[in-house]
């Protein structure tokens, strides 16, 4: 690989975050025999987004011989991470929504309500949920959902593929209103959203407040409007870095770990199996449950207006990032004005809630303790 190619990759992969983290293919440095013309063709496809270069055909898993599944990457049940997993019917939304839930000790306590990013599921918060429960001794509950067209949430209309931000917001609010129909007796919500989910919870906050629900805060995980939107024109090229599917679930988990898409193998063994479905007769047989290329019409809607909505939220605001170079102008100004708290977690990738669930739990439990008493006024944190 020439110095020109290496420097081009380095310059272009150092900038922006998005829903698909940067993954360096293990065999990239071994392609030393490529000629200059081939290198220049590949350089032309590399955006400055941190999403990863297009996969090289020689290293594509589809061209590799099948091998026995590696038991080190076999699925782990989420049963030990949440108290309950259930399907919640939302007939007005045409959804049967999968919800993972650990309730707080107190009936009127606080729940961290977690919304995942594009292509993932509520189980991306499984390890985080267990950490929060342990750190708070059950005082703070955790709820995570599978969004429309994700995970184990199903639709009564299989032709309805709309994933625009308005639809996702309505789904999210309808779910909370169904589970907690009376705002006066509802637990306090601390809204947590990763990437695409950060936009959903942020823009749902004023709707829930208007309906008289108590919101302790809004926490957005590793997404900034400016950098996300800048990356969108390059997304299709970057999706070439993802295999079409895998021969086994173990292989899918291993790919996510070996490419550093998820740094924590145990978390990947919990969260990755549900984002694939077995399709008889397909090659490979395990296909992405939510092909990200199919969500392209909705990418802009997910992130447009996020910074303004975040700064305008009438609650405590927390932005947790995996890198310091990701603030857009609006958020930089807001940070200088002290409008929100920002924490950078070192040593993690885009899937920070999976990469270091302990550190994220520490950050959010501290955020909860500091802000819950503001919402409830009289009761101090810990009083049941």
Specify if 274 maps to a domain. Answer: no
Specify if 107 maps to a domain. Answer: yes
Determine the Cα–Cα distance for residues 325 and 350; give it in Å rounded to an integer: 13
pLDDT confidence bin for 5, thresholds 50/70/90: very low
For residue 17, what pLDDT is reported?
Answer: 39
Q: How many domains does the chain have?
A: 1
Determine the Cα–Cα distance for residues 200 and 202; give it in Å rounded to an integer: 6
Which bin fits 165, alpha (ψ -120 to 50), beta or left (φ > 0)?
Answer: alpha
For residue 129, what pLDDT is reported?
Answer: 98
pLDDT confidence bin for 238, thresholds 50/70/90: confident
Mean residue pLDDT of the chain comes to 84
Determine the Cα–Cα distance for residues 5 and 150; give it in Å rounded to an integer: 37
Determine the Cα–Cα distance for residues 220 and 310; give it in Å rounded to an integer: 8
Take residue 49 and report the two structure tokens written for it.
């987004």
Determine the Cα–Cα distance for residues 246 and 279; give it in Å rounded to an integer: 11
* pLDDT reading at 155 higher than 50: yes
Higher per-residue confidence, 68 vs 122: 122
For residue 210, what is the domain's CATH number? 3.40.50.1820
Contact 94, 155 (CB under 8 A): yes
Catalytic residues: 195, 222, 350
Q: Which domain holds residue 119?
A: 84-226+299-376
* pLDDT reading at 163 higher than 70: yes
Specify if 133 maps to a domain. Answer: yes
Mean pLDDT, residues 2-26 taken together: 37
Residue 379 CB burial class (10 angstroms; 0-12, 13-18, ≥19): middle
Determine the Cα–Cα distance for residues 4 and 43; give it in Å rounded to an integer: 9
Specify if 288 maps to a domain. Answer: no
174: Cβ contacts below 8 Å, ≥ 6 apart:
90, 92, 93
157: Cβ contacts below 8 Å, ≥ 6 apart:
94
Determine the Cα–Cα distance for residues 31 and 22; give it in Å rounded to an integer: 19
For residue 375, what pLDDT is reported?
Answer: 60
Specify if 253 maps to a domain. Answer: no
Measured in degrees and rounded to the nearest 5, phi and psi for residue 236 equal: -60, -40
Higher per-residue confidence, 273 vs 5: 273
Determine the Cα–Cα distance for residues 116 and 124; give it in Å rounded to an integer: 7
Specify if 310 maps to a domain. Answer: yes
* pLDDT reading at 54 higher than 50: no
Specify if 73 maps to a domain. Answer: no
The fraction of the chain above a pLDDT of 90, given in percent, is 71
Determine the Cα–Cα distance for residues 120 and 274; give it in Å rounded to an integer: 8
Contact 343, 321 (CB under 8 A): yes
Specify if 354 maps to a domain. Answer: yes
């Amino acid at each position: 690989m020439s110095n020109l190619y290496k420097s081009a990759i380095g310059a272009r992969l150092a900038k922006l975050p998005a829903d698909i983290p940067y993954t360096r293919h293990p065999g990239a440095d071994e392609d030393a025999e490529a000629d200059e013309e081939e290198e220049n063709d590949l350089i032309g496809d590399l955006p400055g987004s941190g999403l990863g270069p297009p996969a090289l055909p020689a290293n594509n898993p589809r061209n590799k011989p099948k091998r026995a599944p590696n038991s080190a990457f076999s699925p782990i049940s989420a049963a030990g991470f949440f108290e309950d997993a259930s399907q919640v019917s939302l007939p007005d939304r045409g959804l049967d929504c999968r919800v993972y839930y650990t309730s707080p000790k107190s009936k009127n306590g606080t729940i961290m309500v977690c919304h995942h990013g594009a292509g993932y599921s509520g189980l991306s918060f499984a390890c985080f949920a267990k950490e929060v429960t342990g750190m708070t001794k059950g005082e703070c509950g955790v709820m995570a959902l599978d969004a429309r067209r994700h995970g184990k949430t199903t639709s009564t209309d299989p032709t309805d593929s709309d994933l625009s931000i308005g639809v996702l917001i309505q789904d999210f609010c309808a779910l909370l209103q169904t589970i907690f129909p009376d705002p006066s007796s509802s637990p306090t919500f601390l809204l947590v959203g990763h990437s695409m989910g950060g936009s959903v919870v942020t823009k749902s906050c004023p709707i829930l407040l208007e309906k008289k629900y108590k919101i302790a805060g809004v926490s957005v995980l590793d997404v900034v409007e400016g950098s996300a939107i800048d990356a969108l024109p390059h997304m299709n090229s970057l999706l070439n870095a993802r295999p079409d599917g895998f021969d086994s679930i173990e292989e899918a988990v291993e790919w996510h770990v070996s490419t550093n898409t998820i740094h924590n193998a145990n978390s990947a063994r919990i969260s990755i199996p549900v984002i694939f479905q077995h399709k008889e007769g397909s090659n490979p047989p395990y296909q992405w449950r939510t092909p990200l290329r199919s969500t392209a019409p909705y990418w802009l809607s997910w992130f447009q207006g996020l910074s303004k909505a975040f700064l305008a939220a009438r609650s405590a605001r927390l932005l947790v990032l995996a890198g310091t170079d990701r603030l857009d102008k609006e958020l930089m100004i807001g940070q200088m004005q002290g409008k929100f708290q920002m924490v950078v977690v070192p040593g993690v990738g885009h899937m920070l809630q999976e990469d270091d669930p302990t550190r994220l739990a520490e950050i959010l439990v501290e955020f909860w303790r500091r802000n819950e008493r503001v919402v409830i006024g009289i009761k101090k944190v810990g009083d049941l």
